[in-house]
Every structure is written in C-alpha cells, then in structure tokens.
Amino acid sequence: MTRNGNTNRVLAVLTLLFSGLAVAFALRLWGRPVVLPPIPLVDPIFTNTATARVSLGLLLQTHGDTSDYDCYTCHDKKEPVKLKLDDQGNVVLPKEHSDLVMGHGSHNRNNNCYNCHDESNLEALQTRDGRHPKLAESSPLCGSCHGPTYDDWEAGAHGRISGYWDRKLGPFVRQNCVACHDPHKPAFPPRAPAPGPHLLHPIAQAAPPQERNP
C-alpha cells in the first residue's frame, strides 16, 4: 500500500473517531453536569464605600450644603446661648433641636452642649485643655476624652480610611470620628456581620456509617 493510501486510511479513522465523540458529547452519553444553585448577591450595605453617616464635617470638607447647620441663622452672635436645665441637671432642648438625641455616655454627665461646643462661638468646638478645633476637624476633640481610641484611630487601627493603599496612586483620607459616630449619641448601633465566602461547589455529605451485624 502506498504512503498516500495509509495516510488516507488514518485520516478516515480519525474522522470517524472525532465524529463519534462529537455525537456522544451532543447526546451527553456520559451524563449531564450538575446544575449549581445561583449565587445570591451580597447585600450592598457590605460593599458600599460611603461612611456610616453624613456629618457636618464631611459636608464642610466636600463643600456640601451646610445651610441647615448655620447656628447664627437663629442665634445672635453677640449673646451666648443660655442652656435650659431640668431638675436633674439635664439639658432641655428647644423644639428647634428636637431631632437631637442626647445620649453621650451612660451617666448623662456629658450631655451638656458646652462640654464640646464653644459657648462664645458656636461655629467652633472646645476641648478640656483649651484647644478650639474646627467643626470639620473634630476628632482631636473626641481624643481629649477617648485617648486610647484616638491613638488607635491615628494609627489606622480604629475608624475608616478611604483612598489608596499605594500612596503612589493617590492620597488616603482618614475619616473623622463623626463620620461613623453621632456626636450626641456616639454608641454605634450593632450590625449584622458580612456573609462568608460562597461555596461554589456543594460539600458532599458523608454517608452515615453502615450498621454492623452482631
């Protein structure tokens, strides 16, 4: 037999072989793949990069609308605001501030406006040691009482940092305490933990052990 004849025979056999395999795959003679259940989408709350709350400091930093926070729209700059207290010494908020919930600490001793706000300048804050941080930079005020937490915040172990890990790509922004904590009621509400990694393939359950005959 000539070489061309052997080649034609081999090609014919391969053609029949691959044609048979194609038909077998089309008919799924070796079974069908297991249909996996759809992977549920993760709740956007776990992937949202926004801070937990929109604070006045954030609006000031981003040049947002702060018209609702202009104290001197109602108050007179020449007359310090006098606080009204009840029989227990708690601040009685006027109806204009009824949206505020005073709950800074479990002992109520810090529910005094002028522990943080400057009574002579409502557009500034004041610390116990006499510093006057700006409203947009309130974290040093928090650190004047919460020192260990403030140290963790400065080191990046507490709080929220946005931006780039690689400083060559861009800057990073360390968010202020009030980006997550309400300064009037700073206790952070509990949140459900984020879901764990989804198992793409179901784990086969082990068959129960067979009972042995005595």
Model confidence pTM above 0.95 = no
The 10s digit of each residue's pLDDT in 36-60 is: 778 888 888 888 878 888 888 888 8
CB neighbour class for 212 (10 Å; exposed up to 12, middle 13-18, buried from 19): exposed
| Whole-number pLDDT of residue 134 | 87
* Nearest-angstrom CA–CA distance, 111 and 104: 6
pLDDT score of 29: 79
Tokens 């557009």, located at residue: 123
pLDDT of the residue at 147: 92
Identify the segments of the chain with pLDDT beneath 50.
Answer: none
Cβ atoms within 10 Å of 123's Cβ, excluding its own: 13
**Spans of all domains in the chain:** 47-179
- pLDDT for residue 153: 92
**b/e map of 64-93 (b: 16 or more CB within 10 Å)?**
eeeeeeeeeeeeeeeeebeeeeeeeeebeb
- pLDDT confidence of residue 33: 73
Res 181: pLDDT: 92
What's residue 139's pLDDT?
Answer: 92
How is residue 10 written in tokens? 């081999």
